[in-house]
């Protein structure tokens, strides 16, 4: 995305929370323009990110006029890597690269929680430091051939294992290369937690099986190297029930025009796996929220790591026990999450209000277009910076609602948000209210060509949510 910004910045890397705060504090403005990489049409950032709550990672560079290219995906890249939509951002004397990440990509199917996972968490044992037993089981799991019994409503449940096999040996995903620890990056990418990963074969409830094989001949390179397609069959297996409840084959027939010379030794080159399609498919079977237990709550005492844990708090689903006398007590965490439609997938993006990515309390944000701690009536000394401090959790969850109108061919949908006030000590939602915003500015659509998918959402109901939270007595 090309962003025309009026700020010069030094080269630095930021995560999604920082991007949101740049919009909040005015470093990036809603009126700054952006367009998807390779496209010419421009749109205001305020229209693209109406809640300034979009999963993003930004690289800033102070080298004017330099083209920033899409990162090359090597042939050895495995299907555990995240989907990235690459953007280019241009400022006065600066280039900015924005990557919108599929953090927890899911399909638009049911939002029901997984009670099986919650039950598993209740009896969770300490995380081991050696997973060689899973490594030794990989080949056997890759060869498992269960009966096919497709169930379109089935979801990943309980403890999860993922085996991947290509032309070489079978490997287990979710672990580092030495099988000494859980790969938190891979686990988080799919909306899971470390406690949901099977540590040993007898714990497996759901097995994800990715089997990639050489496909048909696509082309012939110099020195007699033959280029083949890559055929990947994905099976999701109820391991204890020994049935495949979902299965699909993905084929990548797109080959690089030129390949490294070392492929001449083996006389063949196989296309990389269709990573994006595989990831989206698997994510569609992972629930967006999980019922909580005391064992499943995030336990993060480092403020810097705590500031990165927005998605973990957004995914928690608490039983509803409404209390007319509910209060906002003690230290508070405010998490905003937004379901963003991206092609055929829905991305869960979350951020913590009032906390900087360095783990410190944020300064006042007078130019914010989304929630602020000041607007919610939360003082600095009420913001929790580690798990042990939390007494109240405020979840603000938003998603695209119903179609309300069409303006110059652009379909405008309502913005539906639900606010949960949660007593974190008793693990219960004690207050809850839904807000549906249908407010929009018709002048936003003066140039409908800016909306490439011809859809948009109404304004975020920020003021209404601010007033609702401020109405609660403090405990």
Per-residue pLDDT of the chain (475 residues; tens, 9 = 90+): 333 333 333 333 344 444 445 555 555 555 555 443 333 444 455 544 444 433 332 222 222 232 222 222 233 333 333 333 333 232 322 222 233 333 333 333 333 334 443 344 434 445 677 899 999 999 999 999 999 999 988 989 888 999 999 877 899 999 988 898 888 777 877 777 777 899 999 999 999 999 999 999 999 998 889 999 999 999 999 999 999 999 999 999 998 888 888 888 889 999 999 988 998 899 888 876 667 777 778 899 999 999 988 988 988 889 899 999 999 999 999 999 886 655 555 566 788 999 998 999 999 988 788 899 999 999 999 999 999 999 999 999 988 899 999 999 999 999 999 999 999 999 999 999 999 999 999 998 999 888 878 888 999 999 999 999 999 999 7
Q: Quote the pLDDT of residue 109.
A: 34
Rounded-to-integer distance, Cα 419 and Cα 394, Å: 7
Report the predicted TM-score, pTM, of the whole model to 2 decimal places.
Answer: 0.54
The residues that bridge with 449 in the sheet, in sequence order, are: none
pLDDT at 335: 95
Name which of 148, 194, 141, 131 is nearest 163 in CA terms. Answer: 141
Which of 101, 97, 84, 100 has the alpha carbon at shortest distance from 2?
97
**Cα distances (Å, whole numbers) of residue 120 to 177, 198, 240, 296, 374:** 26, 10, 14, 9, 39
Quick one: pLDDT at residue 126? 57
The Cα angle at residue 104 between residues 91 and 13, in degrees rounded to 5: 30
Tokens 């938003």, located at residue = 398
Do β-strands 43-44 and 84-91 pair in parallel, antiparallel, or remain unpaired? unpaired
What is the rounded radius of gyration, in angstroms, for the C-alpha atoms of the chain? 24
The secondary structure of residue 320, as a DSSP letter, is: B
Question: Could you report how far apart the first and last alpha carbons of the chain are, in Å?
Answer: 45
Q: Give pLDDT, residue 193.
A: 74
Which pLDDT value is given to residue 26? 55
pLDDT (0 to 100) of residue 150: 94
Q: How many residues does the chain have?
A: 475
Spatial distance between the Cα atoms of 401 and 141, rounded to a whole number of angstroms = 42
pLDDT of residue 90: 29
Are 458 and 440 spatial neighbours (Cβ–Cβ below 8 Å)?
Answer: yes
User: Rounded distance, CA 332 to CA 430, Å?
Assistant: 14
Any idea what the Cα angle at residue 235 is, between residues 196 and 73, rounded to 5°?
Answer: 85
What is the rounded (10 degree) CA torsion for 8, 12, 16, 21? -40
Q: Quick one: the chain helix, strand, coil %, rounded to 5?
A: 20, 35, 45
Query: What's the pLDDT score for residue 140?
Result: 96
């Amino acid at each position: 995305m090309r962003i025309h910004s009026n700020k010069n910045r030094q080269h630095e890397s930021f995560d999604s929370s920082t991007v949101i705060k740049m919009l909040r504090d005015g470093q990036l403005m809603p009126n700054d323009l952006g367009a998807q990489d390779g496209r010419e049409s421009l749109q205001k950032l305020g229209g693209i990110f109406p809640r300034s709550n979009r999963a993003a990672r930004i690289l800033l560079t102070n080298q004017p006029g330099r083209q920033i290219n899409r990162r090359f995906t090597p042939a050895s890249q495995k299907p555990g890597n995240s989907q990235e939509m690459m953007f280019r951002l241009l400022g006065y004397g600066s280039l900015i690269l924005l990557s919108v990440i599929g953090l927890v990509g899911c399909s638009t199917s049911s939002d029901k929680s997984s009670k099986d996972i919650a039950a598993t968490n209740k009896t969770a044992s300490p995380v081991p430091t050696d997973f060689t037993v899973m490594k030794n089981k990989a080949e056997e799991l890759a060869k498992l051939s269960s009966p096919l019994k497709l169930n379109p409503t089935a979801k990943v449940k309980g403890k999860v294992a993922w085996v991947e096999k290509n032309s070489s040996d079978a490997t287990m995903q979710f672990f580092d290369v030495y099988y000494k620890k859980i790969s938190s990056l891979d686990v988080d990418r799919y909306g899971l937690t470390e406690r949901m990963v099977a540590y040993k074969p007898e714990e497996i409830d759901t097995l994800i099986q990715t089997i990639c094989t050489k496909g048909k001949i696509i082309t012939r390179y110099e020195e007699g190297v033959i280029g083949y397609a890559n055929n990947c069959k994905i099976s999701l297996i109820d391991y204890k029930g020994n049935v495949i409840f979902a299965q699909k084959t993905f084929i990548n027939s797109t080959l690089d025009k030129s390949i490294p010379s070392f492929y001449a030794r083996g006389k063949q080159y196989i296309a990389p796996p269709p990573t994006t399609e595989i990831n989206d498919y698997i994510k569609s079977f992972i629930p967006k929220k999980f019922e909580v237990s005391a064992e499943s709550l995030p336990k993060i005492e480092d403020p810097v790591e705590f500031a990165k844990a927005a998605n973990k708090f957004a995914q928690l689903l608490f039983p509803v026990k409404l209390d007319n006398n509910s209060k906002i007590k003690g230290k508070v965490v405010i998490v905003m999450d937004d379901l963003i439609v991206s092609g055929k997938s829905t991305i869960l993006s979350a951020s913590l209000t009032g906390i900087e990515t360095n783990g410190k309390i944020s300064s006042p944000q007078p130019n914010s277009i989304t929630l602020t701690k000041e607007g919610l009536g939360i003082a600095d000394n009420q913001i929790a910076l580690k798990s042990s401090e939390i007494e109240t959790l405020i979840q603000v969850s938003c998603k695209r609602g119903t179609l309300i109108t069409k303006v110059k061919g652009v379909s405008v949908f309502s913005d539906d948000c639900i606010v949960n006030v949660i007593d974190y000590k008793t693990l219960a939602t004690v207050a809850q209210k839904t807000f549906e915003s249908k407010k929009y500015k018709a002048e936003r659509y003066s140039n409908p060509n800016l909306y490439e998918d011809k859809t948009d959402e109404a304004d975020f109901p920020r003021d209404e949510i601010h007033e609702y939270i401020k109405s609660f007595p403090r405990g």
